[in-house]
């Protein structure tokens, strides 16, 4: 990094922009009645995020509990051992940093940073002997599984489609994970933490402290983008709400036909190209309109039409309870190596919102499987449906219900949100999955469209698991806008001054009442 770039980075870490100052002035005035700490009543612990959207949202969420329960607010920040300059910077200059000033403006002060010692690295050295990827996934400390979090962090931070068990970067992630585990445990033992509020439930910096907190009987909340509040439990400490009993839960509801109608209307909007709250992460709809002169993707050669829907190779694959394959690359290669191309007209569609680097992985797959056709990631799902695709392959994608409703046989690879229903074929293991692939031309599933609508309602619309009516956000944050824009804070402060967020505390109360 050049000297000028280093100075620019240092400046961004320390100095407040005009928008930052505007937020600080607003927050100090807004939350001035809650400025006194009361350590006796307890602490709310939150993660440190450099996103203006998250800082604005967390200022409201934390002060809800502070006003309601009298808790003080602290933040945690985890830094890997090999980021020594960053460690030293925050150790000596934390109180001068931009992010610390932003958090202090709404009454939140520094609480926890992970520490390293000889025992930490000794444990990491003794653990760095995994024979298989499954060994890594099963890795746990004091009965708490953290191997899946290490695995997913490796994929994300290294931009690698699979794990190299001999990679030194993996060793340092294990070292960091152990440090986070014991630092979190000590902090909870020495501080009266009552609430842990997180931006994510996956990866090392969030998942480990969440699991430690849950076993300490601390309330752990995830304030997601598409639902109001998700509360973790000892039985379910994963990123998303528990879907395992959706079918039975729907059967207990009244007005079933009305609820199916709500699901149908939302689903039709999705097919028309509208990005609803359930798929907020999509930059654009996968169901764009298809023009008459759009070239066909299938060959119409009489063979069974199959589409393999790729996931982003660097996203966390372990967000649900069980999974046949350790990552999306192994799943993809298994499919392409075992599917009987003589029986099918197969196309492979890359994930439309895949992170940078996915293209390089796909280029390698094209070399390994030269007879497989890859289509443009922008190809509309409507086109695939209109061309009468018969079978769709996914691990756990949202396309499962969307294509099933159009009478497409969907085969999944492990636990997924549709698991409590039977309109998808869910393989239990690799042998069963291989059998499905080799006989894919004869596959069929019992598709009951009422059941699909019931799933869709429970997963995207049901008010009962921390979700607001119409899947409204607890606070209206636009997560599609990039962080780092100097006008971001000005936008939210202006909206707040117009009263746009006056109902936030009422929203939080409504969502909490469902899950407490």
pLDDT digits (tens, 9 = 90+) for 120-167: 888 888 888 899 999 999 999 999 999 999 999 999 999 999 999 999
Kindly give the pairing relationship between strand 144-145 and strand 140-141.
Answer: antiparallel
For 1-30, how does the pLDDT look when each residue is reduced to its tens digit (9 = 90+)?
Answer: 565 665 666 677 788 999 999 999 999 999
The residue ranking higher by pLDDT, 276 or 103, is 103
* 391-393 β-sheet, strand order: 373-374, 344-349, 304-309, 391-393, 409-412, 425-426
Q: Is the pLDDT of residue 226 over 60?
A: no
As a whole number of angstroms, the distance between CA 167 and CA 136 comes to: 13
Q: DSSP string covering 267-325, please?
A: HHHHHTT---GGGTT-SS-S-----TTPPPSS--SSSEEEEEEPPPTTS-S-SSS-BSS
pLDDT for res 8: 63
Least confident of 194-203, 420-429, 478-487: 478-487
Give me the torsion for CA of 210, 475, 38, 96, rounded to 10°. 80
Contacts of 217 (CB under 8 A, 6+ apart): none
Q: Are 286 and 392 in contact (CB under 8 A)?
A: no
Q: Which residues pair with 419 in a beta bridge?
A: none
Tokens found for residue 390: 């018969």
pLDDT at 7: 60
If DSSP codes are grouped into helix, strand and coil, which group holds residue 82?
coil
Tell which residue, 406, 337, 410, 412, has the closest CA to residue 372: 337
| Residues 23-47, mean pLDDT to the nearest whole number | 83
Instruction: Output the pLDDT for position 183.
Output: 96
Global confidence as pTM: 0.93
Q: Return the DSSP state at 414.
A: B
Cβ distance 239 to 316 under 8 Å? yes
Number of other residues whose CB lies within 10 A of the CB of residue 130: 18
Mean pLDDT of the chain: 91
- For helices 118-127 and 168-190, give the axis angle rounded to 10 degrees: 130
- With a CB cutoff of 8 Å and minimum separation 6, the contacts of 96 are 14
Q: Are 184 and 212 in contact (CB under 8 A)?
A: yes
Residue 33 has pLDDT above 60, yes or no: no
Task: Give alpha helix (H) positions in 128-245.
Answer: 133-137, 147-158, 168-190, 204-215
What is the structure's pLDDT at 118?
79
Angstrom distance (rounded) from CA 346 to CA 72? 57
170: left (phi over 0), alpha (psi -120 to 50) or beta: alpha
Q: What span, in angstroms and rounded, lies between the C-alpha atoms of 169 and 424? A: 38
Residues contacting residue 132 through CB under 8 Å, at least 6 positions apart: 165
Give the pLDDT band (50/70/90) at residue 101. very high
Cβ-contact 202, 193 below 8 angstroms: no
Q: Read off the tokens for 416.
A: 């997924």
**What per-residue string of b and e applies to 156-179 under the rule 16 or more CB within 10 Å gives b?**
bebebbbbeeeeeebbbbbbbbbb
Nearest alpha carbon to residue 180 among 145, 209, 219: 209
**Residue 386 in tokens:** 């209109």
Distance between first and last Cα of the chain = 49
Q: Does 508 have pLDDT greater than 80?
A: yes
Instruction: With beta carbons less than 8 A apart as the criterion, state whether 141 and 165 touch.
Output: no
Q: In this predicted structure, what is the pLDDT of residue 274?
A: 78
């Amino acid at each position: 990094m050049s000297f000028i770039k280093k100075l620019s980075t240092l400046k961004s870490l320390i100095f407040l922009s005009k928008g930052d100052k505007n937020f600080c002035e607003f927050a100090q005035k807004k939350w001035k009645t809650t400025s006194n700490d009361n350590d006796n009543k307890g602490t709310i612990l939150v993660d440190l995020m450099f996103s203006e959207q998250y800082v604005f949202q967390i200022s409201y969420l934390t002060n809800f509990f502070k006003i309601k329960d009298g808790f003080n607010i602290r933040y945690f920040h985890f830094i890997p051992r090999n980021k020594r300059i960053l460690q030293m910077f925050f150790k000596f200059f934390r109180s001068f940093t931009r992010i610390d000033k932003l958090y202090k403006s709404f009454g939140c002060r520094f609480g926890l940073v992970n520490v390293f010692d000889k025992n930490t690295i000794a444990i990491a050295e003794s653990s760095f002997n995994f024979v298989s990827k499954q060994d890594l996934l099963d890795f746990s400390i004091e009965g708490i599984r953290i191997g899946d979090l290490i695995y997913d962090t490796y994929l994300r931070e290294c931009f690698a489609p699979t794990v190299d068990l001999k990679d030194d970067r993996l060793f340092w992630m294990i070292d960091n994970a152990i440090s986070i585990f014991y630092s979190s445990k000590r902090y909870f033992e020495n501080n009266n933490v009552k609430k842990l509020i997180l931006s994510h439930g996956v990866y090392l910096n969030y998942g480990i402290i969440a699991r430690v907190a849950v076993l300490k009987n601390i309330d752990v909340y995830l304030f997601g983008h598409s639902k109001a509040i998700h509360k973790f439990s000892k039985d379910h400490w994963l990123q998303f709400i528990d879907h395992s009993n959706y079918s039975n839960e729907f059967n207990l509801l009244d007005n079933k036909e009305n609820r199916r109608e709500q699901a149908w209307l939302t689903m039709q909007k999705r097919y028309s190209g509208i990005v609803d709250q359930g798929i907020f992460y999509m930059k654009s709809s996968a169901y764009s309109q298809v023009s008459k002169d759009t070239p066909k993707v299938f060959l119409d050669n009489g063979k069974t039409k199959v589409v393999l829907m790729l996931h982003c190779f660097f996203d966390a694959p372990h967000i649900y309870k069980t999974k046949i394959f350790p990552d999306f690359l192994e799943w993809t290669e298994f499919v392409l190596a075992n599917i009987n191309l003589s029986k099918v007209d197969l196309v492979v569609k890359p994930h439309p919102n895949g992170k940078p680097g996915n293209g390089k992985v796909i280029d390698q797959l094209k070399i390994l499987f030269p007879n497989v056709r890859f289509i443009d990631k922008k190809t509309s799902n409507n086109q695939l449906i209109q061309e009468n695709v018969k079978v769709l392959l996914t691990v756990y994608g949202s396309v499962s219900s969307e294509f099933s409703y159009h009478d497409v046989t969907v085969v999944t690879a492990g636990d997924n949100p549709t698991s409590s229903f039977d309109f998808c074929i869910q393989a239990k293991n690799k042998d069963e999955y291989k059998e499905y692939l080799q006989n894919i031309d004869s596959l069929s599933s019992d598709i009951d469209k009422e059941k699909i609508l019931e799933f869709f309602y429970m997963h995207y619309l049901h008010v009962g698991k921390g979700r607001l009516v119409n899947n409204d956000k607890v606070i209206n944050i636009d997560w599609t806008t990039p962080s780092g824009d100097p006008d971001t804070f000005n936008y939210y402060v202006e909206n707040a001054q117009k009263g746009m967020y006056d109902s936030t505390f009422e929203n939080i109360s409504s969502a909490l009442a469902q899950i407490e």
